[in-house]
Amino acid sequence: MRRIDFIVIHCTATPQDTRPEAIQHYWKEYLKWKNPGYHYLIEASGDVRQLATEDRICNGVAGHNANSIHVSYIGGVVADNKPLDNRTAAQRNSMKVLVMRLKQQYPQARIQGHRDFPFVKKACPSFDARKEFGDL
């Protein structure tokens, strides 16, 4: 069992109607990743897709993947690729339920956004995850 120190919150930085298969295709064909970027992906409908089991390492944050679980929602930007927290109510609810479960499973893990790691120069997940989940 891996030691989990972080529950990392992401956005896909894509339109909200992007299909999970398109995201996975991008990782595999263009980035040449063997593992997905996230363990969990939350669609605009609120449906949660598990892309990898929690014992697998995903490619969410360079240098921090061995000890992290990655959760992402589809969206996070507007048409001109400017960051925007555009989660649907269903995504917010599903994310809260999932993150609560993960925090119970990994009580020592810190919840934070991708942007909260050192040397990350992106707005992902387009909101302050530490503040939003600070009560967990």
* Structure confidence by residue, pLDDT tens digits, 75-116: 999 988 899 999 999 999 999 999 999 999 999 999 999 999
CA distance 117 to 94: 24
pTM (two decimals):
0.95
Separation in Å, CA 47 to CA 9, 27, 63, 107, 127: 16, 21, 29, 24, 20
What is the set of domains in the chain, with CATH numbers? 6-132 (3.40.80.10)
pLDDT at 1 over 80: no
